[in-house]
Each structure stands twice: as C-alpha cells, then as structure tokens.
Structure 1
C-alpha cells in the first residue's frame, strides 16, 4: 500500500534528520577521538591506545555519511544541487580533511619513526576537527539564509562566496558543532580507556560540554534577539502538489524561527535535551558511568540537531536573495514514486545497518590498554 504524497514528504524530512543524527552520533565519536588524539595521548603508546578505540569501526561508521548524502540526493534533489553549488568549496574542504582519515589510520604505524607518526597524528586531528566545524558553519548559514535564486526553468544560481560563509553567527554555530562532537569523542574515550588517557578524556569532556552549552545558548539568544530574522510562508500551500519552489510566497520576520515553538510547546524539550544531555554526559563521565554518559551525549546531539530542525520546519534551505526561491519540505522533493520506493528500501536496509553496527561494537567491546598495545606491536594501528 502506497502512502500519500504529503505523508511521504514529512516522513523523508524525519528520515533525513534521523540520518544526520545517526551520522553525528556514529561517525561523530570517532571524529571527536581524532580531534582529541594529539592532546590526550602524550606518547606513542598512549596515542596508539586512542587510535585503537576507533580503528576497527571508523570506516563502518562512514556508512551513515554516505547514506545521508545519498538520501538527500534522492529525496531532495533541488536541495542537493543547490547546496553543492553554494557550498562547493566548503564541501571540498570537508572532503580534503576526510582524506587524512583512511591514509592516517592505514599508514601511521607502518614506519616506527616519531616524525612520521606525529605527522599522521595531526592529519587525523584535521580529519576529525574540520568536518564538524564546517557542518556547524553550514547550519548557521542555513538559519540566516543562503544567497541563491531559481530562474523560470528552476536552474539555481548561487551569488555568495566562500568567505561570506564565515560570518560571526555561523562561526558560533561551528563552535557548537565542534564542541558537541569533541564531547562525544571524549565520552567514548572515557568508556574505552583507563588511566592517564581516561583522566584527560574526562577533563576534555567537561570542557567541551561547557563550551558547547554556552555557545548553544548564545546562538539561541542571538536568534531570539531578532538580529537574524527567520522565514515564514505567507501564501497558501498544497502539501500534495508537485514540487515548485516558486509557487509560494515567503516573508521574513524577527520571530519566525520561534513560531513552531509557540505552536508546539513540546518542541522545547529538544533544546533542553541538548543542554541537559551535554552537562549530564560530562558529569556522568567523571562519575565513572561512561556507558550512560555516552547515551546522554548521543541524546544531546539529537537535541541540538532537532532544535535547528524544529525551528526551521518546513524550510530546508531558505534563500536570502529571493525569498520565494527558498526550499521547503513541500517543494524540494522527488516524485511520489521515488519517495515510496526509497521508504520501503529504508525499512529493509536500515535495521540491517543498525544490527550489524551493534554486533560489531559488541564483539569488539572492552577497554583498550597500554598492555594490549605492547603485546600487539604489529597490529594495523
């Protein structure tokens, strides 16, 4: 039985959000570990301990990144095309940073040379620290609006520049994202290590949590001040209509990003979850409840990403230069048939991915210790 078109549009908005949260949780903790690598590991053995906590899993976690990109391409083709045109250099910077991850993990321990290994350690740092920062900056620009417009043939033209993306508000949201992923990595390290590395990871978790919460709350007050107006649809919309971004009328107002929170007060649970989850994760980590702390950190990620999604709905990619060109849940999607086929494919393959990932982490659970590293000098990491 095929679901109706408006329902599928909403389902795919939720599924893309789930994939983004899944990517931030699963790939985020190994990026956070990479970010902390040069700082929590003070010698080669300690750094090998850190690397071995994520070494068996990081490439499997990339499935969430690839699946998320593929889902946006198939479900929201106009968003995919416009975003990759407007954020072209930012996307390339992410890809260049990600190149350091496979070669860093594979080549770092091939040569027993301090300079060689230190160089790859910093390469892994770049591969872990740069993507979350850029993704956070991208979200900050989405909340402000992206300078693009469509012509009558629905061909998009981007009129901004790479450096314009690095504005103060976007950099603040970049700090939120970076601190959030660093916190997640620190909590994971605390769960998988012991001794000096674990102690440093616990301190890093507390620091990252404080920075994340302060930046997150600061960004919220910045939006609430009206300095960055939100977007709202002022014309009637037909959720069942075929995609046509230019068929609506969009206006900006100071409180538009808060309208959904006034309409559905339950949404306030999302920012609360982001704040309480982050602080709770840091405190639970120091108390030794590291697995519970990891769950709290994951919930904080869901809360932060959900906060942005809840504020922007139904907008996905607002336009700052031609308001009516803004892309929404209703007018940036693929056909009814495409969304249906993708939905049923997701019902089949998503549980398989979750089951395999859970099995892999269960099989390779436990602490990574310096004794284990010394006893396995010739392992890949």
Structure 2
C-alpha cells in the first residue's frame, strides 16, 4: 500500500479545510489583538509615553502573530489552488491595500521613536492605526462577499475569469460584515490592553472596548438575520464524488433558498454562533467589571465562534460563484492532489507543535504589564 493511501482523499480534503480554518482563526486571535491595539492607539493613549506603553504591549509579539497570516496564504496556495487563483485575482486591489498596510506597520514600529519630533511620531502613530483598522475592515468585507457569492466563472479549461470590480465589493452586506470585523477586533485589542496596561490607558481601553463589543454583537446579529432573509444560499444538486478529481465543473450547484438550511442539515453547527455571541457577551462583561485574563480568553472564544460560524454554515462551499453557480468551489472539487495534501499534512504535524510550543514560551516570558516606568527606564531598548 502506498503510504499516502493510509488516509483517504476525501478525509484529507476535510482535514485541510479544518486546518485552513484553524490558521485563519489563529490569525484572528493573535494578530487580531495587534490590529485592534493599533486601531485604538490614537484614542486610548494621549501622551507620547502612554503611546509608547501601548506600542510596547504588542511590539515584541506582532511579527510572530503575523506568521499565521503567511501560513494561511501558503495553505490556500498549496492546498486549494483554484481558491488562491480566484480570490487573489478577484480581490487583487483589496489584497494590495492589505499588504500595503502590513508593510507600513513594521516600518512604523521601527521608525516611530527614531526622532523626538511630535509631528514625526504622530504620523507614525496614525500609520499604526491604519495598519490595524484597514486590514480588519477589508477582511470583514471579504467575508461578506464570500457569503454573497463572488462574480467569477471557470472556462472549460478551468481558467478563472473574474467579472467584478473593486467597488462592487463594497456592497451593503459586505460593509456590515466589515464593521463587525473591525469592532470585534477593536474589542479584542481592548481586552489585550486591559490585560497588559494599567491606569488611564486601561480605563480608556475598557471604555472603547465596551462600545466596540456592543457594536460587534449587534452587527453580528443583524448580519445573521440579513443572511437568513435576504442572501441566497448555495446547494449541491447532484451527488458529488468526494474523492474525485478537482474539477468544479463536474458539480451542479443551485443558488437560492437560505444559507440557514445548513443548520437543518447539521444542527450541531449552531454551537458556533452560540460561542460567538457568548464569547463576545462575556468579554463585554469582563471589560465593564474589570476582569483581565478571562476577558481576553472570552474574546478569543467569541472570535472562534464568529469565524467558524461562517465556514460551518457554508460547508462544503469555500467560494461560491454568484454569476455561474456551477463554477463554485467546494471542499470536494477545489483541492490539490491526494499526495500533495498528504505531504503537507505530515509537514504540519511536525512543525505546527513546534510553532505552538515556541509561541507559548514567548508569551510566558513576556507575561506581565507594560508600565510608564518601564518605557521611561528602558528608553533605548523599547519601542
């Protein structure tokens, strides 16, 4: 027996669908509080010392957290090539803006304190704000468009043709999901600052985080109702060979009805939105009552629930086509080969535990609050 036959093709496809979700959720949980902290920077910190405190809560960890984004992009490229081709071409300008924000952010970290000029430092502070708020908004808008369906089709030779425009991505539902994304990550950033700072910064973070959390909860509820009542769902019409070739055109897809039919077919997935609401509500409660570590954990649970609810609701679809439903990409027909998925899984089983152990060690070493005394006493070694 060939080694990779030990795990069936259909199971490998599901495993990599789950792993892609894990990478995206890991990115939202870790780099999410970095982005939320950046978006809060001009508002929770009023003096230069206060802003240095805020920056130094994320300065030592943001690079490691951003690795989850790189891993997610790499997983899409290697495990789901058609998804990579359609999303990175159709969302090209949006992705360019995200990458520009991610390029500006490290430059701002490195250059902000190189000169004492208030104008110089203020400019880089707003660059950090943009580096946090802009990607958070665009990621949310992207999720809204995926739920709505993306205007593309596949030629008989499986070449993707994107038929939309950048401005077409800014539809009302996508803008709502963008607001949910931004507010949720601002709440997450506030939960992080609540844990890592004290005094006035902590107080302001709690206040802004409470408002953002309320917006996230209300927005998530409205988006769910909107999706149930006004957004067409997608469904497979014919029986699909789950271990067949990666050719989306072999599937017949219908557009209509509601995405909520998934909850009738798989009632257990209701656990995801329940976690989303419960996590955000408890994080909101923690921000108002003064809880610290538990508030951040509840915020992470909320992110887990919100992000996983999208994937579980759409399964087996990973990128529906709004203009040609039969070109929609699913878990069963848009993956790499059996051997490729197996080799990637072996590499993941080796390296993922090492990444998690190293990340845990870093956070344990950096445990504790960042104070104004810290940045004043270590001016040359901190951001």
TM range (shorter): over 0.9
Q: Which of residues 348, 371, 378 is equivalent to 1:376?
A: 378
Deviation at 1:321, TM superposition (A): 0.9
Q: CA deviation at 1:288?
A: 2.8
Q: Which residue of 2 aligns with 1:363?
A: 365
Deviations 1:283-321 (A, max 9, x none): 113333211111110110010011111111000000011
> Runs of at least 4 residues of structure 1 off by over 3 A?
none
> What per-residue deviation string (whole Å, max 9, x for no partner) do you get for residues 47-100 of structure 1?
000000000000111110100100010000000011111000000010111111
1:24-63 to 2 correspondences below 5 Å: 24-63=28-67
For residues 181-330 of structure 1, what are the structure 2 equivalents within 5 Å?
181-225=185-229, 227-255=230-258, 257-330=259-332
Following superposition, the deviation at residue 11 of structure 1 comes to: 0.4
2-structure distance, mates of 1:363, 1:259: 47
Aligned pairs, how many?
A: 379
CA contact (8 A) 1:187 1:282 kept: no
Paired position in structure 2 for 1:340: 342
1:90 aligned counterpart, secondary structure: helix
CA contact (8 A) 2:56 2:382 kept: no
Distance, in Å, in 2 between the alignment partners of 1:148 and 1:61 is 32
Select which of 100, 124, 139 maps to 1:96: 100
TM-score, normalised to structure 1, is: 0.98
SS of aligned partner of 1:251: strand
What runs of 5+ residues in structure 2 fail to find an aligned partner? none
Q: Is the 8 A contact 2:27 2:65 kept in 1?
A: yes
Is contact 1:106–1:380 with CA below 8 Å preserved after alignment?
no
CA distance in 2, matches of 1:269, 1:205: 25
C-alpha separation between the residues in 1 aligned to 2:297 and 2:256? 37
3-state SS of paired residue (1:316): strand
Q: Does 2:132 match 1:128?
A: yes
Tell me, yes or no, if the aligned pair for 1:37 and 1:50 is still in contact at 8 Å.
yes
| Whole-Å separation in 2 of the counterparts to 1:174 and 1:228 | 16
Q: Provide structure 1 residue ranges, at least 5 long, that are not aligned to the other structure.
A: none
Where does residue 152 of structure 1 map in the other structure? 156
Q: How does 1:48-87 map to 2 (within 5 A)?
A: 48-87=52-91
SS of structure 1 residue aligned to 2:374: helix
DSSP-derived class of the 2:60 partner: coil
Q: For 1:15 and 1:212, locate their aligned partners in 2 and report how far apart those are by CA, in whole Å.
A: 26
DSSP 3-state at the match of 2:113: coil
Tell me the secondary structure at the aligned position of residue 153 of structure 2. Answer: strand
**Which moves more between the two structures, 15-24 or 370-379?**
370-379
Q: Secondary structure at the match of 1:109?
A: helix
Name the TM-score, length of structure 2 as normaliser.
0.98
RMSD, aligned CA: 0.8
**Which residue in the other structure is 2:112 paired with?**
108
Q: What CA distance in whole angstroms lies between the structure 2 residues aligned with 1:152 and 1:297? A: 45
The one-character-per-residue Cα deviations of 1:302-344 (angstroms, maximum 9, x if unpaired) are: 1001111111100000001111000000011000000000011
Whether the 8 Å contact between 1:137 and 1:174 is mirrored in structure 2 is yes
